[in-house]
Amino acid sequence: MGTAIARRFAARGNLVALADLAGSNLEAQARALGDRAAAVPVDIRRPESCDAAVAAVLEWAGRIDILVNAAGVWLEGPAADVAEADWDRVMDVNLKGAFFLIRAALPHLPRGASIVNIASDAGLVGNSGAAVYCASKGGLVLLTKALALELAPRGIRVNAVCPGDVDTPMIEFQAARYGNGDPEGYRRALLAHYPQAATARFITADEVARMVDYLCEPDAAPVTGAALAIDFGVTAGY
């Protein structure tokens, strides 16, 4: 999703800083977007790394108008089997990291800036067997709402996008890790929850990117503190 979002902003002529762990394919992703993109190594689990990443972006671009928190990790399984290290990893990436990256950027965001957090449908409703992930994304949704109120007097908007299952490498990881040797069956089980029945499909990263793009437009000025579901109606009810 982060790649699709970066690609969309770069196509509009924005300067785009891609931030990810050093040693990922970050440099290649930035090169693919051309000379208006930069790779910024960051470990969002560490507040000092978030501070350094923001400083690097300011040195390169001179300003920050949009911040998108798209990093995320998945964990599923019985709550009784969750180790403390698993809890910490999910919370550090999905919630703590988003907060501290925002904190680092806040002194530099101008009036009219937009923050978008990629949450999840699992931040809106509970998913059996995914308690830790739900807790992290539910926390991100309420963090979004609290910051929207706090930053409204400064003219800074904060919103959350809450996708369902998106056709990204995370789905492949989930199916391989938790599919009990039947990744295709795992995917079918996910789609079975969709109200579209036989025509159900996964969301695309580009569909999420279009929503993020809209939320950062001046036309979206009234939209702040929202948690917008992109989930084919999965969270609408039963």
Residues 148-206 have pLDDT tens digits of 999 999 999 999 999 999 998 888 888 888 888 989 998 898 899 899 999 999 999 99
186 catalytically annotated: no
How crowded is the C-beta side of 190, counted as CA atoms within 13 Å?
22
What confidence score (pLDDT) does residue 132 get?
Answer: 97
Nearest 5°: the CA angle 66, 138, 233 is 85
Nearest to 19 by CA among 121, 104, 143: 104
What's at 213, amino acid-wise?
D
Domain ranges, ordered by start, for the chain: 2-166+205-232, 169-202
Nearest to 164 by CA among 131, 192, 129, 142: 192
Catalytic residue, candidates 133, 186, 214, 238: 133
Residue 93: exposure state from Cβ atoms within 10 A (0-12, 13-18, ≥19): middle
What's domain 2-166+205-232's architecture?
A: 3-Layer(aba) Sandwich (3.40)
pLDDT tens for the 238 residues of the chain, in order = 999 999 999 998 999 999 999 777 888 989 999 889 999 999 999 999 999 999 999 999 999 999 999 999 999 999 999 999 999 999 999 999 999 999 999 999 999 999 999 999 999 999 999 999 999 999 999 999 999 999 999 999 999 999 999 998 888 888 888 888 989 998 898 899 899 999 999 999 999 999 999 999 999 999 999 999 999 999 998 6
Long-range contacts of 125-129 (CB under 8 A, 24+ apart): 125/235, 127/76, 129/76, 129/77, 129/78
Buried b (16+ CB within 10 A) or exposed e, 193-218: ebeeeeebebbbbeebbebbbebbee
Q: How far apart are CA 120 and CA 99, in angstroms?
A: 16
Could you tell me the pTM of the whole model? 0.93
What confidence score (pLDDT) does residue 15 get?
Answer: 95
| Cα dihedral: 85, 87, 88, 92 (round 10) | 140
For the chain, give the longest Cα–Cα distance: 52
Residue 109: exposure state from Cβ atoms within 10 A (0-12, 13-18, ≥19): buried
Q: How far apart are CA 131 and CA 75, in angstroms?
A: 9
Q: How far apart are CA 236 and CA 238, in angstroms?
A: 7
